[in-house]
Amino acid sequence: MSAGERPLRVALDLSATRLGRAGVARTALALADALDAQPGVEVLRLGTGPAPAPGSTARRTLALRQDLLWHPRGARREARARGADVLHAPLPRGPLGAGSPPTVITVHDLAVIRHPETLSSWNRAYTRRTLGRIAAAADAVVAVSEDTAADLAAFAPSVQDRIHVIGNGVAAFWAADDDLPSPVEGPYVLAVGTPEPRKNLARLAEAMRRRRAAGAPERLVLAGADGWGADDVPAEDWIVRLGRVDDRTLRALYRGAACVAVPSLHEGSGLPVLEAFAAGAPVACARTGALPETAGDAAALVEPLDPRSIAAGIDEAIARADELVARGRTRAAAAGWERAAARHVELYRSLA
């Protein structure tokens, strides 16, 4: 950028961070930081603010206001008022019609189509009624995997020529070494994510029960909060629920795990897989959705509907730990946020 030239102003909608810090919120924050590091780019953070307590009336009211007012109109209005060159909504919530500034939306998955029973009734109804209109109104749509791009093209063929596949990155933080010990003693299998039906935790627990009956020593550790619906995980003395943990603790948990299990019924990318790879943990993940695309040859793949397959995959990942950890580190190293941010900037400039 030459002297005196105005930077590209990217309005990034971070409103999701007020409702949770998993999944979309984590990737949105990571993208914001990575965009800040790109030359000639000014990031305008929209929609930030205090996070209401989980389960509170204030939280439910905020979620409703975001879906009915902020995403359809408010975010674009603020972006325009702040002189943004482009508005990026890093989730499939956004304006329902064309306008200024041009808009980019990110679609992480189409679980609402593939596995509607795993979403809350409001999320399911809202997404089904609006996703087609939001995608049609967007100037560009980012899909975080080829799997999601294919689902989106099948769902909304008219936007196929505006789909850009840009995978999520993984921050260097997860590969950093420190001496923080894991808060859990003894061998354990770790599952990370919002506890909800799509994460398939009940079958994971059954797989672990089978392994323990066969003499395996590992406990099951669950890290994550703010889910919806019953996860049907039994209360057992070998199941440890940690709820939400900070990132340093989570990194220590990854590093200390005998295996990280990701048996989700569907994922559009698989952030815990990349984080586990970077931290140096062996991974067993489902062979569905975009998880095989994310994992490549660096994880043991399982059938998520079969607890026996999940158990066998965990056994395989532990047995092949040295090999899988080396492959995972290589895969994570190639998936940095700097590259993803650069590709986003290229897309923004094509629209501005």
Q: If you compute the radius of gyration of the chain from its CA atoms, what whole number of angstroms results? A: 20
Beta carbons of 285 and 302 less than 8 angstroms apart: yes
H-run or E-run covering 43: strand 41-46
pLDDT tens digits for 52-90? 988 899 999 999 999 999 999 999 999 999 999 999 999
Q: Which residues contact 252 (CB under 8 A, 6 or more apart)?
A: 178, 180, 181, 182, 183
Give the closest residue to 41 by CA, choosing from 90, 88, 93: 88
Say how far apart CA 338 and CA 136 lie, in whole Å.
29
Parallel, antiparallel, or unpaired for β 188-192 and 86-89?
unpaired
Question: What's the chain's average pLDDT?
Answer: 93
Which stretches of the chain are DSSP H helices? 24-36, 57-65, 75-81, 111-114, 121-137, 146-155, 201-213, 247-256, 271-279, 291-295, 307-319, 321-333, 337-351
Say how far apart CA 16 and CA 14 lie, in whole Å.
5
DSSP 69: I
Domains and CATH numbers, the chain: 8-169+336-351 (3.40.50.2000), 173-333 (3.40.50.2000)
Q: How confident is the model at residue 121 (pLDDT cuts 50, 70, 90)?
A: confident
Beta carbons of 155 and 113 less than 8 angstroms apart: yes
Beta carbons of 119 and 112 less than 8 angstroms apart: yes
- Give the residue-averaged pLDDT of 30-43: 96
pLDDT tens digits for 140-177? 999 999 999 999 999 999 999 999 999 999 999 999 98
**CA-based diameter of the chain, in Å?**
69
- Give the residue-averaged pLDDT of 186-210: 94
Say how far apart CA 263 and CA 285 lie, in whole Å.
5
- Give the residue-averaged pLDDT of 208-237: 87
pLDDT tens digits for 239-286? 999 998 999 999 999 999 999 999 999 999 989 999 999 999 999 999
The pLDDT of residue 230 is 55
Sheet holding 163-165, edge to edge: 41-46, 8-13, 86-89, 103-107, 140-143, 163-165
- Tell me the CA distances in angstroms from 311 to 103, 317, 351, one per residue in order: 44, 10, 48
User: Angle, to 10 degrees, between the axis of helix 321-333 and the axis of helix 271-279?
Assistant: 110
Phi then psi for 300, rounded to 5 degrees?
A: -85, 130
Give the closest residue to 215 by CA, choosing from 187, 236, 242, 178: 187
